[in-house]
Chain A
Amino acid sequence: MKRTRKTGLIFFPAFDWAISPTHPEREERLLYTQDQVFEEGLLDFENIVEYKPGLATIDDINRIHICVPDAKSVITESHLISAGGAITAAQKVLSAEVDNAFALVRPPGHHAMRIVHGARGFCNINIEAVMIENLRRKYGHKRVAIIDTDCHHGDGTQDIYWHDPDTLCISIHQDGRTLYPGSGFPDEFGGPNALGTTINVPLPPETSDEGFLHVLEELILPIIEEFKPDLVINSAGQDNHYTDPITNMRFSAQGYARLNERLNPDIAVLEGGYSIEGALPYVNVGIILAMAGLDYSHVREPDYNPESLRQSDDISRYIREVTKDVMDLWKKRHTFKAEIVKGAKYARRNRNIYYDTDGIREQQEETVRICDDCGGFITVNSMASTGNRLYAVIIPTRSCDLCRHEGEKHFRSIDKTKLGAHYLILQDRDRDIYTVK
């Protein structure tokens, strides 16, 4: 018999909230999942405990995001609840009330980046990041590995932790050349101070259980083993499923359950997944059973046919190659810094960011101080098609004295009117202070 684990479940289907009436992110999304979870009687198991979600606060959001014009304006109550649900999950795990926890909440968050002018990819705030920073504040600084198994590249989470050497972000997703948001290639590998703590594995359309589990066994688990995180978090998007209406993969409920059993995350947080009737009820039952250490071998979709879902040999070969390439990069991660930095004191990237859900365009220039002692202080100069313009200085968590000193000095030296910025922000993540001028 398998060893059972005590699993916390935070279920919040938000039956009274939708982006718009026919949007995939709508009231009906978790309706059949609720029915399936209730009918299977999962909450009657002694080792599965349901908790009511708490509410995240504006401070929780400002700890990690810079929202324009402010946090309150870019969210609704539903976001405070879904982020709050993730926080509740983390609290139950870190207080050792449960062994692991699953926040089965909506709306999702993994496309929300550090700067928030509006909603991207159905996401306003990054609920995992809000959760992680909340738990770091309460339980001390933890090394965290986020494994994003949503079909879409977790570009928001990647952006937020791009310069953080203590947060490993691994995203496996359908190749960006074939799917929103179009990013997530192996060369996106982390900022100069955090090389290798961002890992991307793009998978070809029609990848099936075999392909996902190959990447898990040959890449994700070995990297986690080496990174030695205090916490493993699964951004558990469910849109790799073979019935998902907006993607092209062939993952099954059995595959998702197996993945969670092997990955054994401390916390799982629901992300995307819009096959609300054909996939979500079964995938979620599979994940809950796997997390609780219960037998999931009989869970399957009504139309499940493993034969017809098998991936081609070409795909298998391609996945083996990608996996090997990314693994090689990871092994050599310490050797790239000098070559990339070339003796410069600062590194800069310029990006155009599109907020598809709200139709906003943003131009962003981000600069980080090259530092060997911490993540490096960051400045962001951002202008959006809404007309909002901001300039932000970010002191990283566990900043070294020099980055703090230089960051603060820089902040004091800025003339808001000269820059044309409407908002001048200091986000001191080390001291948990958020100042707007």
Chain B
Amino acid sequence: MILGIDVGGTHTDAVLLENFKVKKKTKIPTNQLHLVSSLLGVMDAILQDEDPAKLERVVFSTTISTNAIVQGKTDRVGMIVASGPGLTPQDVRVSEDTRFVSGYMSNRGIEVAPVKKGEINEALSALKEAGIDHLGVVGKFSTRNPVHENEIGEIAQSVFRHVSLGHRMSGNLNFRRRIATTYLNASIFDLYNRFVGEIVDFATKTGLKAPIYILKADGGTFEIRQSADQPVQTILSGPAASIMGIMSLADCSGSDAIAMDMGGTTTDIALLADGVPLLEPLGVTIEGHKTLIRGLKTRSIGLGGDSRVRVDKGEICIGPRREGPAAAFGGPYPTPTDAMIILGLTQIGDRAKAEAAVAEIAGEMKMSLQDAARAVFDKTCQGVASAVTTLIEEINNTPVYTIHELLEGKRLEPSKLFIVGGPAGAVAPRLGEILGCDVVIPHNAEVANAFGAALARTTAEITLIAETERGSLVIAEEGIQMKIPAHFTRKDILRIGIEKLRERAAKLGAREADIETEIIEDQEFNMVRGFYTTGKNIRLKAQVKPGLIARFGKGGARL
């Protein structure tokens, strides 16, 4: 059996799967003040009369990290930043408690200026004296050479309860994002670890021996103990759960597609290329912090079934605010849902109330009731469709850096629209028409998020850079520096990259059968100095991409 739980803003859903079919589903209201109690509560409920020993895996999607950041319930964090030349300190400062120190690596990871121990000690005691318990350490180009961060981290370890190191967050370049990511990681460390502790205690008490996983922003999972050091990876897992849900409820394989969750307030849009959800190229953004956290590329617009409809300067305006439920359910204003009811696209709520609300719009627009409802409905669909088109265009206009990619590169051309959410049935045909897509509305959509979490596989990414001239290989995320021989080749880096990725994925909790590796960047440059080739600069990025666990096969196949 597999247990999937999604702690959402309003409800916490649990779904118990046996042979990949829904055996049981449970829903309880979320206790925003104590998310763990919602989680444990729903678990208690669904596991009643079940044997916990039969569970093969348990997966949670939780908003605990996201909420802490959004609500500002984070810890104070001291930052030690070795910024070297470039942007000014003001341009990279993320918190007041930032100390800039010496130490500077070049873009090739060659030490230009060393770390000064005295300076570090001084900075650490100043931060400690200010009553700070959490520390982040970030150096420019630390993903090219982590030595300075490690050095500072070692000194700090004895003074601070926990130290987050920049190069461990991501292998990507981007100093400012590395600072933000490291800062966020340290700021939710205690909160998240208390959560992990409670879960682990619960598991011990109830005799739950199955591995427990947490959903990440990229739609992948990692084992709960492994997540303890990297809580920041769990931010924004909500939209990821919903996309993974769609993938598990419907057969998304093989084609470019749009995945959409239309709710009352917002519509979330994601895109799939050949059946694989697209990721943000650098990382997700949360509360204005641009991070290096791998996450699904999603777009959320303030247009949903309950968006307020009004007339402004002779134009029908919809959203972006929701001021209550649809008029048909006693809400204060007309909404797209009311229009859908009038048009007979859905048989819910009180039709008379819907008509009364939309009649106001009809009056102001000097239209018949039917025409006004039609106009509201069409404008809703057009608004959603145009957000989709913009997103696709953005993706197709993403800059590329080789002639080959520019001339032959793949263009995203979705042919299918997968849609879940309240108004899905009513808007699907029209949206499909506008976007030129076949439409699929998956069944069991009310448990999509929990279902998606339950079946999401463990993802991982690894970044390698080798320089044969200096005989060095760096694996950023692992903080590894290795000596390599001068005859090291692309073949060697591919072999090592895949091997290390497999190790990393397994450590994060992946089962052997789920480690489907993929090379996402593979570049080799001759390094020429003074008209002679002095070596090679070889770069590799590999991943286990987001997807469903093996044996499940294509989504929807067994439901």
Contact = CB atoms under 8 A, between A and B. Distances in A.
A318 interface: no
Given A21-B526, A28-B528, A32-B107, A40 B86 contact: yes
Nearest to A31: B525
B537 A41 contact: no
B106 A17 contact: no
B200 to A, nearest CB: 37
Nearest to B396: A52
Interface string A170-203: 0000000000000000000000000000000000
Contacts of A282: 85
Interface in B93-122: 104, 106-108, 112
A369 B496 CA distance: 69
A79 B532 CA distance: 25
Interface residues of A, number: 42
A44 B172 CA distance: 14
A298 B537 contact: no
Given A285-B86, A295-B91, A299-B86, A12 B176 contact: no
A336 interface: no
Contacts of A13: 401
B403 interface: yes
B526 A27 contact: yes
A22 B172 CA distance: 28
A294 B91 CA distance: 9
B358 to A, nearest CB: 39
A34 B401 contact: yes
A77 B537 CA distance: 25
A430 interface: no
Contacts of B398: 52
B88 A297 contact: yes
A53 B86 contact: no
B530 interface: yes
A22 B174 contact: no
B513 interface: no
B86 A22 contact: no
A302 interface: yes
Interface string A16-53: 11000110001110011011101111001000001111
Contact of A295 (B90, B404, B532): B90
A28 B467 CA distance: 13
A44 B177 contact: yes
A238 to B, nearest CB: 16
A277 interface: yes
Nearest to A42: B87
Contacts of A27: 525-526
A289 B85 CA distance: 13
Nearest to B109: A35
A262 B61 CA distance: 53
B525 A36 contact: no
Interface in A211-253: 245
A14 interface: yes
B83 to A, nearest CB: 8
B407 interface: yes
Interface string B121-162: 000000000000000000011001000000000000000000
A206 B240 CA distance: 58
A28 to B, nearest CB: 5
B148 to A, nearest CB: 14
B314 interface: no
B523 interface: yes
B89 to A, nearest CB: 8
A51 B399 contact: yes
B33 interface: no
B173 interface: yes
Given A15-B523, A298-B85, A21 B173 contact: no
B67 to A, nearest CB: 25
B82 to A, nearest CB: 13
Contacts of A81: 403, 406
A13, A28, A282 — most chain B CB neighbours (10 Å): A28
Contact of A78 (B399, B403, B530): B403
Contacts of A295: 87-88, 90-91
A263 to B, nearest CB: 22
B112 A302 contact: yes
A142 interface: no
Interface in B262-319: 290
B401 A12 contact: yes
B400 interface: yes
B533 interface: yes
Given A14-B402, A21-B533, A52-B399, A40 B523 contact: no
A11 interface: yes
B397 interface: yes
A36 B537 CA distance: 16
B557 to A, nearest CB: 38
B140, B141, B528 — most chain A CB neighbours (10 Å): B528
A234 B332 CA distance: 59
A300 interface: yes
Nearest to A34: B401
A298 B140 CA distance: 14
A293 interface: no
Interface in A61-86: 77-78, 81
A41 B176 contact: yes
B392 interface: no
Contact of B173 (A14, A39, A51, A52): A39
A165 interface: no
Contacts of B401: 11-15, 34
B375 interface: no
A30 to B, nearest CB: 8
A109 interface: no
B104, B401, B526 — most chain A CB neighbours (10 Å): B401
Contact of B528 (A15, A22, A298, A299): A22
A44 B403 contact: no
B175 interface: yes
A41 B403 contact: no
A297 B525 CA distance: 32
Given A39-B107, A51-B399, A44 B174 contact: yes
Contacts of B290: 41, 44
A396 interface: no
Contacts of B426: none
B527 interface: yes
A68 B387 CA distance: 48
B455 to A, nearest CB: 34
Interface in B348-407: 397-404, 406-407
Interface in B525-545: 525-528, 530-533, 537
Interface string A257-285: 00000000000000000000100011001
A195 to B, nearest CB: 41
Contacts of A41: 87, 174-177, 290
B463 to A, nearest CB: 12
Contact of B107 (A11, A15, A281): A281
Contacts of A285: 86
B526 A302 contact: no
Contact of B86 (A14, A44, A298): A298
Contacts of A78: 403
A17 B407 CA distance: 13
Contacts of B397: 51-52
A38 B177 CA distance: 10
Nearest to B532: A22
28 contacts: A12-B399, A12-B401, A14-B402, A15-B402, A15-B525, A21-B526, A22-B533, A26-B526, A31-B525, A31-B537, A35-B144, A36-B107, A39-B141, A39-B173, A40-B176, A51-B399, A77-B403, A289-B87, A294-B87, A294-B91, A295-B87, A295-B88, A295-B90, A295-B91, A298-B87, A298-B89, A302-B104, A302-B106
Given A15-B402, A295-B87, 8 more contacts: A12-B406, A26-B528, A39-B173, A51-B397, A51-B399, A77-B403, A294-B87, A299-B85
Top 4 closest pairs, chain A to chain B, by CB:
A41-B176, A38-B173, A35-B107, A39-B173
